[in-house]
Structure 1
């Protein structure tokens, strides 16, 4: 541990001691989502299953509720319900990461846990440089920084070259990195290595004006390339997409391409881009394959530069959380997202109602109320329009005629206005699985064909969940009360 590293850890410890009570007293603190002990959380990082435990690292700014010089926070779990918040994994302590340890990934090599991350540096003249770095650990808790391992190819901007994702295929290691060209075009760059410390540049495998794409964003962040059930899938967060009808409604987007990766040619032949989540807050997702063969995804329940300072939690010195973990599956035509099965460990009291019929009316259903809860709805008949209102704050509505599903809520910045996020469903609406936390919604539509992830800030004393139908709607509903995550703080610094 260097003196700078020790100093930073002490400063974080003092910050938590000074303001931790204020943070923890916030009634909007989430019951079953990972959050920062204080300050700002953003991208999930370094997701890996190692020696029977899941390591979930995350971008963390402990000193304010805004972006800046990032640390890597660290949670560990063996069941996605009981967690340990461990000591900080990475601090911005060295010349190559002094202005932030930015996002990255993790692999295991020769029984050593290796983190790959972007070191951010601001020069005296204000210019920014980003370096791809490595850190190693034999116990999963204490990390030795190995420094920069990768040079930026010619034609790309060193201020926008970040978020390495590493994996192994056959006897070689591969890495994708998000980048911006000198012409302000977003790309995903592919590298190959036999040693993890020396990397060969293979080329841009995807990006704006690649593989038949037209102009498609000026920067591609957080690339994640993996194989799933016969398909090669690239998840990425392109910045600079303009809204097109119901698509690309957030400031920045996250989605995926499917196709065939040709490593030796440095090419990824792929189809069209599909958004992963239709809600208000979802960005920078990352996946990993666990020891059971599942492909699991976490996302950041936030969007950069999208009314972040209008979230009411900043008054209590914290902001943002991660999504619940989701298993990814391929159904033959698209990705399906399902909450991991371990989340059922949170279930407590259950209510079941069948054959509920509503016609041209709004009403409550006995016992269906409050939070945190999990709801399952199966729609048996829907003639015209159906809606669910959450706590007189947010609403999910479906119109059969045009097959459009809409989520609405008050605008975070101007509460006199209403925000909307929409998607057209291919096969109508027949199933909803909804996780309602203290201040969030995650709505899985038609067994995970579409997902809406959003923060909500209703009156905490309002428990009402109301159901409305124009025409007749018949549905069954099941509700579980959720006990939430159990988190033990082992070491905040």
Structure 2
């Protein structure tokens, strides 16, 4: 039997983001709360730092910040070539996992596959039993082989499942199924479908559907979008359609697709409703076309900080959950920063920086002397730009006009998460810092700053 991959060096290991103990990680799965614990699962290949037959890795937390890594929750068996993405729901005092079984009958051709939906359950939230009569759902006749990533929730006595799908017209769509017991499912509606391959994609991965601040939101990751101005410059995108479900047709009457994060390294979101009513989102802090320099160290991939979602000004805002304040240790900065001076932050820090108007042009630079991340704001267009000194380093999006510019930045040993104006825009980046990171203000606009060193080793393996 193969031995699990072991990490060979700590140089890029993150201090407070969830990672694997070794091996490959991608999509977050099964984000849930059960018997006093938050649970997160993730796509996991334990035996190499590369994508392989997918397992479900597993971690739990009391506070969504400090994670304890547990054993593998699901592994492929004789009937599966992979346990693909899915979700979790509490029912009958058990934690149920609903996931996609991935099957490749011809081992020589990985594109010759089919997908179905399966379930497993646990009474203790740690040890899981697969249902003996899996699968519980197979693809409809008007569907291609792409049929995956179930997100399940309960509404009254019924359960609902939104699935990523591709119709025979080769356009992405979201299907909704209904069940009374998680084992027998009937199609309820085609919630929404892409208007065109170029603008909304040929396949919708990792769908999630929820009500938020008076709006119905379909959050998902479409494949196949063409670049359009500042939009859609990663291989695959993540974003949302927002509107209202027509009570008669059961279709989502919605606007255009909107990217939810504008950085290089963000994909495959999943949300949960916390016990206190917050809608919390987490994502894979990587992308399929991003370089992952940690692969040579025996691991790959990480998850973002959990983020609370709200609707404001017709768009979704994201804020780091309040619990991240637990990570703060000693205060590094407090007060205004002088232009062109360098202030050391270290490799694990939170920086809050507010500029008074008319802050515009080049704003600040984060640098370790080798890796650079510059933030700018174009004065007339309100186009906010980040530029890291890598190939294809620029990402940008437009801000609403406001009286001040607020930045909240979380640095870790190989990442940066940037929240602009209380989360109106976010940019998620894997940056493989080589040493101590400093911040340099590049504008004469008045500012106020506060920064903290953040806890290291928030995870246990």
Could you tell me which residue of structure 2 aligns to residue 209 of structure 1?
195
The reply to whether residue 328 of structure 1 matches residue 309 of structure 2 is: yes
Q: CA deviation at 1:235?
A: 0.2
Could you tell me which residue of structure 2 aligns to residue 443 of structure 1?
418
The reply to whether residue 381 of structure 1 matches residue 357 of structure 2 is: yes
Please give the residue correspondences for 1:220-299 in structure 2 after superposition, counting only pairs within 5 Å. Answer: 220-262=204-246, 265-299=249-283
Could you tell me which residue of structure 2 aligns to residue 481 of structure 1?
453
The reply to whether residue 423 of structure 1 matches residue 397 of structure 2 is: yes
Q: Distance in 2 between matches of 1:263 and 1:327?
A: 28
The answer to whether the Cα contact below 8 Å between 1:39 and 1:61 also exists between their aligned partners in 2 is yes
The answer to whether the Cα contact below 8 Å between 2:283 and 2:304 also exists between their aligned partners in 1 is yes
Q: Distance in 1 between matches of 2:323 and 2:60?
A: 15
Quick one: which of 174, 183, 207 aligns to 1:197?
A: 183
Could you tell me which residue of structure 2 aligns to residue 348 of structure 1?
329
The answer to whether the Cα contact below 8 Å between 2:332 and 2:345 also exists between their aligned partners in 1 is no
Q: Distance in 2 between matches of 1:326 and 1:447?
A: 12
After superposition, the Cα gap between the structure-2 partners of 1:263 and 1:323, relative to the gap in structure 1 and judged at 3 Å, is farther
Show structure 1 runs of 5+ residues with no match.
Answer: 1-6, 412-416
Quick one: which of 333, 347, 351 aligns to 1:371?
A: 347
Q: CA deviation at 1:401?
A: 2.8
The reply to whether residue 55 of structure 1 matches residue 31 of structure 2 is: no
Q: Distance in 1 between matches of 2:169 and 2:23?
A: 35
Cα deviation 1:213-244 (Å, max 9, x = unaligned): 98521100000001112211110100011111
Q: Distance in 1 between matches of 2:257 and 2:68?
A: 36
Q: CA deviation at 1:410?
A: 3.0
After superposition, the Cα gap between the structure-2 partners of 1:375 and 1:124, relative to the gap in structure 1 and judged at 3 Å, is same
Q: Distance in 2 between matches of 1:80 and 1:198?
A: 32
The answer to whether the Cα contact below 8 Å between 2:198 and 2:226 also exists between their aligned partners in 1 is no
Q: Distance in 1 between matches of 2:226 and 2:106?
A: 34
Q: Distance in 2 between matches of 1:215 and 1:267?
A: 19
The answer to whether the Cα contact below 8 Å between 2:359 and 2:405 also exists between their aligned partners in 1 is no
After superposition, the Cα gap between the structure-2 partners of 1:383 and 1:34, relative to the gap in structure 1 and judged at 3 Å, is closer
The answer to whether the Cα contact below 8 Å between 2:362 and 2:374 also exists between their aligned partners in 1 is no
Q: Which moved more, 1:391-400 or 1:239-248?
A: 391-400
Cα deviation 1:332-377 (Å, max 9, x = unaligned): 522111111111111011134334453xxx2224xx4222000001
The answer to whether the Cα contact below 8 Å between 1:346 and 1:485 also exists between their aligned partners in 2 is no
Q: CA deviation at 1:418?
A: 5.0
After superposition, the Cα gap between the structure-2 partners of 1:384 and 1:435, relative to the gap in structure 1 and judged at 3 Å, is closer
Q: Distance in 1 between matches of 2:126 and 2:306?
A: 22
Aligned-partner SS, 1:382:
coil
Could you tell me which residue of structure 2 aligns to residue 4 of structure 1?
none
Q: Distance in 1 between matches of 2:399 and 2:311?
A: 18
- TM-score if structure 2 supplies the norm length? 0.94
Quick one: which of 111, 122, 132 aligns to 2:104?
A: 122
Q: Distance in 2 between matches of 1:222 and 1:463?
A: 34
Quick one: which of 7, 10, 31 aligns to 2:15?
A: 31
Q: CA deviation at 1:124?
A: 2.4
Aligned-partner SS, 1:343:
helix
Quick one: which of 400, 407, 410 aligns to 2:386?
A: 407
Q: CA deviation at 1:80?
A: 2.2
Q: Distance in 2 between matches of 1:250 and 1:287?
A: 22
Could you tell me which residue of structure 2 aligns to residue 154 of structure 1?
141
Q: CA deviation at 1:192?
A: 1.0
Q: Which moved more, 1:380-389 or 1:27-36?
A: 380-389
Q: Distance in 1 between matches of 2:247 and 2:139?
A: 19
Q: Distance in 2 between matches of 1:215 and 1:466?
A: 38
Could you tell me which residue of structure 2 aligns to residue 3 of structure 1?
none
The answer to whether the Cα contact below 8 Å between 1:130 and 1:162 also exists between their aligned partners in 2 is yes
Quick one: which of 90, 93, 97 aligns to 1:111?
A: 93
CA RMSD of aligned residues (A): 1.9
The reply to whether residue 311 of structure 1 matches residue 292 of structure 2 is: yes
Q: Distance in 1 between matches of 2:313 and 2:440?
A: 36
Could you tell me which residue of structure 2 aligns to residue 138 of structure 1?
123
Q: Distance in 1 between matches of 2:30 and 2:359?
A: 47
The answer to whether the Cα contact below 8 Å between 1:26 and 1:313 also exists between their aligned partners in 2 is no
Q: Distance in 2 between matches of 1:262 and 1:39?
A: 44
Q: CA deviation at 1:403?
A: 1.5
Q: Distance in 1 between matches of 2:354 and 2:322?
A: 19
The reply to whether residue 456 of structure 1 matches residue 431 of structure 2 is: yes
Quick one: which of 56, 77, 80 aligns to 1:93?
A: 77
Q: Distance in 2 between matches of 1:410 and 1:235?
A: 31
Q: Which moved more, 1:393-402 or 1:35-44?
A: 393-402
Q: Distance in 2 between matches of 1:142 and 1:272?
A: 42
The answer to whether the Cα contact below 8 Å between 2:207 and 2:219 also exists between their aligned partners in 1 is yes
After superposition, the Cα gap between the structure-2 partners of 1:148 and 1:175, relative to the gap in structure 1 and judged at 3 Å, is same
Q: Distance in 2 between matches of 1:145 and 1:311?
A: 33
The answer to whether the Cα contact below 8 Å between 1:384 and 1:401 also exists between their aligned partners in 2 is no
Cα deviation 1:189-231 (Å, max 9, x = unaligned): 1111112111111232112139xx9852110000000111221
